[in-house]
């Protein structure tokens, strides 16, 4: 697939047209000498507000007038709507939007869910999630199982909204359940709750721990790969150890990570598309409060040994990280984009552009389809998404109708 031209020589943006169709049209129109007017006008105004050219430092969103969500760190804000989470599936792309309207003392806040399926436009999905609680803000999040079943998790109310056919949802109270004696069913998402690896069963709403927990140590992070593998990282004693399971958590094999000492502020695992995994270590910067990248390790698959990869030149901080088809795609705190090549070295990626104006990349997400989605930072006109079909070499901006 040809790379789309989104730097001022492509077609006008149409939020009701799927990304894949826009990618094809953009490739066919790369040599046009004149920008199609109208479609980019709104995006140019958006970019001018929070991503001015030549300004390398992140621009902070306006201070929220109401509350801030501790779970999602998304302020309850005034219009326009802001994308607070995305879920990338095999054939679908879901965007959860949030907005508030009215005066500060009498605002009405609500969620809105939009979906896009390959070959179709953005369409609204009726979502029965009630308005956010004033104590938690926009704390709902999206979870997607391997079968493209969407789950909207509202932790503040202990409810899970499980997607069904024809866009309806079944409401499940989230409760503790018995252990999964037969291992984790394929396609579910592991999480850490009270130091144990658990999965949310969409059929019952039960959070069920694995009967055989990874050892040794209390897990700091857990992840599931596309081929059914599980990984959990812990810090027992003077080592950092990763436990790997190839059978859904029925059994585990552990391996120490060479050259990595305990005591880091953040350890997180990212599954690779080829069945392997990555481990990142970060330390909080005393000056910026962000995460400084201490090191990156890779396990090639089949439970092999961990090897350090990356190195200079490369990102110094970590804003967000996700798995692409050919390696990791990462952002620094500043929004600078990097990719880890299959050979284990970093490559600086071009900045996304809209009508010739740079836009900072924000939180990243990806899925089995190979698409990488970024939510540009900032609280202004947050319905803008950046979509890449080539692991960050090029980006197509798309507006989610709100």
Per-residue pLDDT for the chain (402 aa), expressed as one digit of tens each? 332 222 222 333 343 444 344 434 443 443 333 223 333 344 444 444 334 333 333 322 333 333 333 333 344 444 578 899 999 998 899 999 998 887 776 678 899 999 998 857 899 999 999 988 767 788 899 999 887 899 999 998 999 999 987 779 999 999 999 999 888 888 899 999 999 999 999 999 999 999 999 988 899 999 998 888 999 999 998 899 999 999 999 999 999 999 898 999 999 999 998 889 999 999 999 988 899 999 999 998 766 789 999 888 999 999 999 999 888 999 999 899 999 988 889 999 999 988 888 889 999 999 888 899 999 886 444 688 999 999 999 999 888 987
pLDDT of residue 15: 38
Bridge partners, residue 20, by sequence: none
pLDDT of residue 378: 65
State the pTM of this model.
Answer: 0.79
The answer to whether residues 161 and 151 touch, using CB atoms and an 8 Å cutoff, is yes
User: What does DSSP say about strands 150-154 and 159-163: parallel, antiparallel, or unpaired?
Assistant: antiparallel
CB crowding 304-337: b at 16 or more within 10 Å, else e = eebeebbeeebbebbbbbbbbbbbbbbbbbbbbb
pLDDT of residue 302: 64
CA-to-CA dists, residue 198 to 118, 183, 209, 259, 270, angstroms: 32, 11, 4, 29, 18
User: What does DSSP say about strands 92-101 and 108-117: parallel, antiparallel, or unpaired?
Assistant: antiparallel
Place of tokens 């104590």: 135
Q: At 45, is the secondary structure helix, strand, or coil?
A: helix
pLDDT of residue 185: 85
Report how many helices (DSSP H) and strands (DSSP E) the chain contains, helices first: 2, 31
Q: Which of 307, 183, 179 is nearest to 245 (CA)?
A: 183
The verdict on whether omega for the bond into residue 246 sits within 30 degrees of 0, i.e. cis, is no
Phi and psi (nearest 5°) for 380? -105, 125
In the structure encoding, which two tokens stand for residue 157, read together?
């109310």
pLDDT of residue 382: 66
pLDDT of residue 273: 84
- In sequence order, the 6+-apart residues with CB closer than 8 A to the CB of 74 are 68, 82, 84, 98, 137, 138
The verdict on whether omega for the bond into residue 389 sits within 30 degrees of 0, i.e. cis, is no
pLDDT of residue 124: 94
């Amino acid at each position: 697939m040809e790379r789309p031209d989104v730097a001022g020589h492509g077609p006008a943006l149409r939020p009701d047209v799927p990304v894949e169709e826009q990618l094809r049209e953009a490739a066919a129109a790369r040599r046009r000498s004149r920008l199609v007017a109208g479609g980019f006008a709104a995006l140019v105004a958006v970019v001018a507000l929070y991503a001015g050219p030549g300004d390398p430092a992140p621009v902070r969103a306006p201070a929220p007038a109401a509350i801030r969500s501790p779970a999602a760190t998304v302020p309850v804000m005034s219009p326009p709507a802001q994308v607070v989470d995305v879920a990338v599936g095999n054939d679908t792309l879901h965007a959860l939007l949030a907005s508030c309207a009215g005066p500060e003392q009498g605002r009405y806040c609500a969620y809105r869910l939009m979906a896009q399926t390959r070959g179709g436009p953005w369409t609204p999905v009726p979502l029965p999630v009630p308005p956010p609680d004033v104590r938690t803000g926009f704390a709902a999040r999206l979870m997607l199982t391997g079968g493209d079943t969407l789950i909207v998790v509202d932790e503040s109310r202990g409810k899970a909204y499980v997607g069904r056919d024809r866009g309806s949802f079944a409401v499940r109270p989230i409760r503790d359940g018995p252990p999964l004696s037969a291992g984790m069913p394929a396609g579910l998402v592991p999480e850490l709750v009270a130091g144990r690896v658990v999965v949310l069963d969409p059929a019952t709403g039960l959070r069920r721990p694995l009967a055989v927990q990874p050892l040794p140590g209390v897990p700091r992070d857990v992840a599931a790969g596309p081929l059914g593998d599980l990984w959990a990282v812990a810090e027992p004693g003077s080592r950092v150890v990763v436990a790997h399971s190839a059978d859904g958590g029925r059994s585990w094999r552990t391996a120490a990570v060479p050259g990595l000492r305990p005591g880091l502020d953040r350890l997180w695992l990212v599954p690779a598309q080829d069945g392997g995994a990555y481990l990142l270590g970060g330390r909080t910067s005393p000056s910026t409060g962000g995460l400084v990248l201490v090191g990156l390790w890779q396990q090639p698959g089949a439970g092999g040994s961990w090897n350090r990869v990356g190195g200079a030149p490369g990102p110094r901080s970590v804003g967000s990280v996700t798995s692409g088809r050919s390696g990791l795609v990462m952002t620094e705190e500043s929004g600078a984009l990097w990719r880890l090549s299959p050979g284990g070295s970093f490559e600086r990626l071009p900045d996304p552009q809209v009508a010739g104006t740079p836009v900072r990349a924000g939180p990243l997400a990806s899925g089995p389809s190979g698409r990488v989605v970024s939510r540009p930072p900032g609280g202004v006109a947050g319905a803008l998404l950046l979509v890449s079909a080539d692991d960050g070499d090029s980006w197509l901006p798309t507006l989610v109708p709100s």
